[in-house]
Amino acid sequence: MDDKKNVRKVNEMRKGIFHFHSTYSYDGINTLEKIIKIIKEKKLDFVVLTDHDTIKGSVELQKKAKEQNLNVEIPTAAEYKTDRGDVIALNLKNEITNMRWQEFYKDAKEQNAILILPHPYDGHKQIEELAQAVDVIEVFNSRSSVINNYKSYLLALQYKKPVIWSSDSHIPQTLLNVVLGYEKKGLKFHEALTNGEVAPLFLKKSSASDVFFSQLKKAYVKKNFKLFIYIVYKTLFKRTKEDYLNL
């Protein structure tokens, strides 16, 4: 009887994925066609594509979904590399081009965008100030270490911010590493998010090899041999050691 109730509860939820990358990102391998296929197969209600430094991916995904009459919410979003680190802007109307934090923040808020701090302890400066300024903090990232995810959770608690979980997928195999859901109440994704009603339905860590392939593309696109060597070391040796020690 309880199992039937649980199934009914899941069916009454809107489910989807947040913070992932397509080929519109320099290190993304997920094609829009693959993403559309996942939407259909898993009957996703929302997908938040956050390509690096551009909203083109989410805009094109919106068009493809509309062409196929898919009933799926696709907010316009991107993950921008500001001078203080990556910040996701959700519900944008126009591209943001100035990456100086103060100007970036001003532009985003003039568009009534929601700002999300992804993987706070991976590649950010002045983390405390960022945490205070953003609307939401990511507390689980499939590609981050166990300890950094835990520190992110404590950061969100400290500043009383709504939280979010993500796969940060760059390859097809990890697109569903994190699946989110919230109860159907006529809410858009951003409303459920800022109300603190979004919860993880499934969480899985990315393996070192998963991260390696996206980083390999990044090194190739940037034609940076030194970066390639560093990525091989960090992904296959250093990160594996860190995760083992943080178990």
pLDDT on residue 2 = 56
pLDDT on residue 119 = 98
Residue finishing a domain among 189, 206, 223? 206
What integer is the mean pLDDT of 147-170?
97
CB 86 within 8 A of CB 79: yes
> What is the residue-wise DSSP string for 118-132?
-STTSS-SSHHHHHH
Q: 237 or 89: which carries more pLDDT confidence?
A: 89
What integer is the mean pLDDT of 127-153?
97
112 and 101 housed in the same domain: yes
145 and 213 housed in the same domain: no
Residue from 225, 230, 221 nearest 28 by CA: 221
101 and 211 housed in the same domain: no
66 and 179 housed in the same domain: yes
201 and 238 housed in the same domain: no
What integer is the mean pLDDT of 225-229?
57
What integer is the mean pLDDT of 132-156?
97
CA-to-CA dists, residue 229 to 14, 213, 222, 223, 232, angstroms: 42, 13, 13, 12, 5
**Would you place residue 111 in the very low, low, confident or very high pLDDT band (cuts 50, 70, 90)?**
very high
d(CA 129, CA 145) in angstroms, rounded, equals: 22
Cβ atoms within 10 A of the Cβ of 99, count? 14
pLDDT on residue 105 = 98
Q: Would you say residue 133 has pLDDT above 70?
A: yes
Q: 18 forms bridges with which residues in the sheet? A: 48
pLDDT on residue 206 = 86
140 and 174 housed in the same domain: yes
88 and 141 housed in the same domain: yes
**Would you place residue 5 in the very low, low, confident or very high pLDDT band (cuts 50, 70, 90)?**
low
Q: 230 or 240: which carries more pLDDT confidence?
A: 230
93 and 165 housed in the same domain: yes
66 and 124 housed in the same domain: yes
Q: 232 or 1: which carries more pLDDT confidence?
A: 232
Q: What is the pLDDT of residues 187-216, one digit of tens each?
A: 999 999 999 999 999 999 987 666 665 665
CA-to-CA dists, residue 129 to 99, 117, 159, angstroms: 16, 11, 10
197 and 76 housed in the same domain: yes
pLDDT on residue 27 = 86
**Would you place residue 184 in the very low, low, confident or very high pLDDT band (cuts 50, 70, 90)?**
confident
**Would you place residue 222 in the very low, low, confident or very high pLDDT band (cuts 50, 70, 90)?**
low
CB 178 within 8 A of CB 144: no
* CATH code of the domain covering residue 100: 3.20.20.140
Average pLDDT, the chain: 88
Amino acid at 78: A
Which parts of the chain fold into alpha helices (H)? 2-11, 32-42, 56-67, 101-110, 127-133, 146-159, 189-194, 208-222, 225-233, 239-245
pTM: 0.84
Q: Would you say residue 246 has pLDDT above 60?
A: no
Q: Would you say residue 225 has pLDDT above 90?
A: no
pLDDT on residue 88 = 98
d(CA 186, CA 222) in angstroms, rounded, equals: 43
Percent of the chain with pLDDT over 90: 75
Q: Would you say residue 243 has pLDDT above 70?
A: no
192 and 216 housed in the same domain: no
Q: Would you say residue 242 has pLDDT above 90?
A: no
Number of domains within the chain: 2
Joined together, the tokens standing for residue 225 give 């041999």
Domain range spanning residue 126? 2-206
pLDDT on residue 12 = 79
139 and 52 housed in the same domain: yes
The DSSP symbol for 177 reads S
